[in-house]
Structure 1
Amino acid sequence: MTRKAGRPRAFDPDEALRRALMVFWERGYEGASMTALQEATGLTAPQLYRAFESKERLFERAVRLYQDEYGFGIRSGIPLAEAVVEYLDRAAREFTTEPGRGCLVSTGLLATGQDAQAAAAICRAERDHALTGLRQRVADAVARGELPETADVAGLSRTIGALIQGMSVQARDGAGYEELAHIVTAAQILLAAVSKG
């Protein structure tokens, strides 16, 4: 009797997903070929599809794992300026430390072809969620009097978001923590100026 081909006996879906995440993080969605994903997970293409349905679904689950294990947001309960500096400094450290460089959500899928639109939408939704959180945090700072009522809430929140995304790109290009820390200092000066109105 012939045994049907299937997953390896030692197949661990969580470990396979973790290994796929590292491939996506390093190469981006389109750069992560099925061959690279197979090599990383130890699964054949049919086994990958049986386990995760499609490359897009595998990427979606990898993004969720990334957010659970490596994602972070701006802290509440402290003054906005302090929270932003802490947020950017953590980004500078995280983006320049192994296991990956940069942020998977910020830079893992920006320019894409037609075949990657579903995966692009996954990352866009995560970025939109982060921007909504930033906007709410800035609006709260205005309501508490930390920022003047004339503060541009949408503009400031998008600026902070753009700094995070830019830091991710620079980290992917090889910038180290010390270089990205200059951005944190510049943001601190910017926030002090905005606070004064």
Structure 2
Amino acid sequence: MRKNNEMERGRPRGFDRDQALHKAMEVFWERGYEGTSLSDLTDAMGIERPSLYSAFGCKEALFREAIDLYNRTESPAAQKMLESAVTTRQAISAMLHNYAENYTRPGKPPGCMIVLAALLGTPQNRKVRDHLANHRRQGHEALRRRIETGKKAGDVPASADAAAIAGFYSTILEGLSIKARDGASRKVLTAIIDGAMASWDVLVHGRPDGRV
């Protein structure tokens, strides 16, 4: 009896693509792109290499899908806070605190997958690093847009440099990820956020007392 096409390509019966992708995401998140081998992936996903290639194409394509999954599952709450808080300051503070909680959750790799997965690497993996850099730029742009919204609403001065403020807080966010990967507790990250938010008046007004 002739096997069906799926079995010929090496995918076992009962293969759960979504579950396998989630497992792959966790491996990439923990070990980074170049630190993850195909054997690491197939062991975690519970499949053979032919099944991986059939379902996802290649390691890079699998990684890109894993990044998309990470964005869908790990970022929505923080992004909702950024959009829904009454003032811009409250929005940025809530977003940072939410990420600090996420970065230090038991049972999850510490830090942010997008920040940590491929900061450095070999020339042949430049496209992977560029892909992640684009995601980080999108995060910066989301902050900038929120600050511009605050300017229109009147809780941020019209003279404030939205791009510069967004750059400051996106750098804080990326630093929190690195500190978490180094073992910093949520308490430590919270103290860093409090210090960053204490700089708000200087950033938006140019003076610590809020006067121009």
Q: CA deviation at 1:70?
A: 0.5
- In 2, Cα distance between equivalents of 1:139 and 1:185: 22
Q: CA deviation at 1:77?
A: 4.7
Q: Which amino acid aligns with 2:92?
A: V
**Alignment partner for residue 133 of structure 1, among 142, 153, 160?**
142
CA offset digits 1:140-172 (Å, max 9, x no partner)? 222322222322211100011001100001101
RCO higher in 1 or 2 (8 Å CA, sep ≥ 6)?
1
Unaligned runs of 5+ residues in structure 1 are none
- 2:117 pairs with 1:108: yes
- Correspondence 1:183 to 2:195: no
Contact conserved, 2:84 with 2:91, CA < 8 A, in 1?
A: yes
Of residues 2-11 and 53-62 in structure 1, the stretch that sits farther from structure 2 once superposed is 2-11
TM-score normalized by the length of structure 1 = 0.93
* Equivalence for 2:94: 86
Choose which of 46, 52, 60 in structure 1 pairs with 2:50: 46
**Paired residues, what number?**
197
Report how far residue 129 of structure 1 moved: 1.2
TM-superposed CA distance for 1:183, in Å, is 1.4
SS of 2:198 mapped into structure 1 = helix
Paired-residue identity, % = 32
Q: Note the residue ranges of structure 2 that are not aligned, 5 or more in a row.
A: none
Return the offset for 1:118.
2.2
Tell me whether 115-124 or 126-135 shows the greater mean CA deviation: 115-124
- TM-score (norm: length of structure 2): 0.87
- The 5 A counterparts of 1:91-170 are 91-97=99-105, 98-170=107-179
After superposition, the C-alpha distances for 1:49-82 in whole angstroms (9 at most, x for unaligned) are: 1110011110011011111110142233510111
- Judge conservation of contact 1:75–1:87 (CA < 8 Å) in 2: no
- The 10-residue stretch of structure 1 (109-118 or 10-19) with the greater mean CA deviation from structure 2: 109-118
| Residue type of the alignment partner of 2:127 | A
